[in-house]
């Protein structure tokens, strides 16, 4: 394991920040780590589309200030992770999360909770279905690609839901023909439905660590990869789906439909009312307060 930089102390909280480069799936990835003096639990956090954990620094440092050690994942090809890998899939990001869990278990010797937002929430939920080492999962948003209604998360027309399987087959074929065709965020997501707050888009646009395009190879994996373990009883840990009543991307109706299909020994919806999809960026203190208490509650139940 290689450290990229010397540890930095937060003068107010004594939280230590450090970065670590680890192997994962034949590549190398970076973890941003916030470590309080005496952590009680570890959190592995997976970020959303095209961003990285430092985009969520107020949130993740907030968890550390509340007693949680945090390992924020820079997925393969994202953020501070080396950019040499050009082709990766959603399954690669899930593997990155699995290797981050291994890092957290070895470093902290504590129960590990996986958490992610949006695209990262999808990966966090997939981890819960395939990794028995996880103490609990808190995905902010879950997508089941087999549901025709999933097309509504994108900016593609809803009528595609009526020809969903042929449309996915066509997407797979196009991705095989043009795997490295790079497409901007606006090609498949509607920014207005993601949110309009300046703290969402201004850091995204000016941050050189944020990606601005994804390959068709990756986008095809995002819409076609299935994780049957989420619905067949493979999840062995508590599963708390984080949602917002005002989310226009993962709407309450879609989230409820997905939630009803999930199977876990304990499942719960944690619903915020901040008015948007990007609550982990726009309301970090509220999210920290609520989810810190909920993590402690859920972990106490499972002991």
Residue range 2-143+226-301 in CATH 3.40.50.1820: yes
Residue 158, pLDDT score: 82
Tokens encoding 66: 């509340």
Show pLDDT as tens, one digit a residue, over the chain (303 residues): 344 444 554 554 688 999 999 999 999 999 999 999 999 999 999 999 999 999 999 999 999 999 999 999 999 999 999 988 879 999 999 999 999 999 999 999 999 999 999 999 999 999 999 899 999 999 999 999 999 999 999 988 888 788 888 988 999 999 999 999 999 999 999 999 999 889 999 999 999 999 999 999 999 999 999 999 999 999 999 999 999 999 999 999 999 999 999 999 999 999 999 989 999 999 999 999 999 999 999 999 877
CB 205 within 8 A of CB 51: no
Say what the pLDDT of residue 15 is: 86
> Which residues in 267-279 are b (16+ Cβ under 10 Å) and which e?
ebebebebbbbbb
SS (H, E, C) the chain: CEECCCCEECCCCCCEEEEEEEEECCEEEEEEEEECCCCCEEEEEECCCCCCHHHHHHHHHHHHHCCEEEEEEECCCCCCCCCCCCCCCHHHHHHHHHHHHHHHHHHHCCCEEEEEECHHHHHHHHHHHHCCCCCEEEEECCCCCCCHHHHHHCCCCHHHHHHHHHHHHHHHHHHHHCCCCEEEHHHHCCHHHHCCCHHHHHHHHHCCCCCCEEEHHHHHHHHHCCCHHHCCCCCCCCEEEEEECCCCCCCHHHHHHHHHHCCCCCEEEEEECCCCCCHHHHCHHHHHHHHHHHHHHHHHHCC
- Is residue 117 within 8 Å of 47, Cβ to Cβ? yes
Q: Please report, for the chain, the start and end positions of each structural domain, with discontinuous segments joined by +.
A: 2-143+226-301
Helix axes 216-224, 90-108, angle to 10 degrees: 80
Give the Cα-Cα-Cα angle 49, 156, 146 (nearest 5 degrees). Answer: 75
Q: Note the pTM of the prediction, 2 decimals.
A: 0.94
Model pLDDT, residue 1: 39
């Amino acid at each position: 394991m290689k450290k990229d930089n010397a540890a930095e102390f937060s003068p107010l909280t004594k939280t230590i920040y450090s970065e670590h480069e680890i192997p994962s799936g034949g590549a190398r990835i970076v973890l941003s780590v916030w470590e309080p003096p005496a952590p009680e639990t570890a959190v592995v956090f997976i970020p959303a589309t095209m961003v990285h954990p430092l985009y969520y620094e107020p949130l993740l440092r907030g968890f550390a200030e509340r007693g949680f050690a945090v390992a924020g994942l820079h997925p393969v090809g994202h953020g501070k992770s080396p950019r040499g890998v050009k082709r990766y899939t959603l399954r690669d990001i899930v593997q990155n999360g699995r290797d981050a869990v291994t890092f957290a278990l070895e470093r902290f010797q504590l129960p590990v909770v996986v958490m992610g937002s949006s695209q990262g929430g999808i990966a966090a939920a997939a981890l819960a279905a395939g990794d028995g080492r996880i103490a609990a999962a808190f995905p902010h948003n879950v997508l089941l690609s087999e549901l025709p209604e999933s097309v509504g998360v994108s900016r593609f027309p809803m009528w595609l839901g009526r020809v969903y399987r042929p449309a996915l087959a066509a997407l797979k074929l196009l991705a095989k023909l043009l795997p490295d065709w790079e497409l901007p965020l606006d090609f498949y997501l509607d920014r207005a439905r993601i949110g309009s707050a300046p703290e969402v888009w201004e850091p995204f646009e000016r941050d050189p660590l944020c990606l601005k395009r994804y390959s068709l190879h990756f986008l095809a994996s995002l819409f076609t990869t299935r994780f049957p373990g989420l619905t067949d009883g493979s999840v062995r840990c508590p599963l708390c789906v984080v949602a917002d009543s005002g989310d226009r991307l993962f709407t309450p109706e879609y989230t409820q439909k997905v939630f009803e299909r999930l199977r876990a020994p304990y499942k719960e919806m944690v619903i915020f009312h901040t008015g948007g999809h990007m609550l982990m960026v726009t309301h970090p203190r509220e999210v920290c307060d609520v989810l810190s208490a909920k993590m402690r509650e859920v972990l106490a139940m499972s002991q």
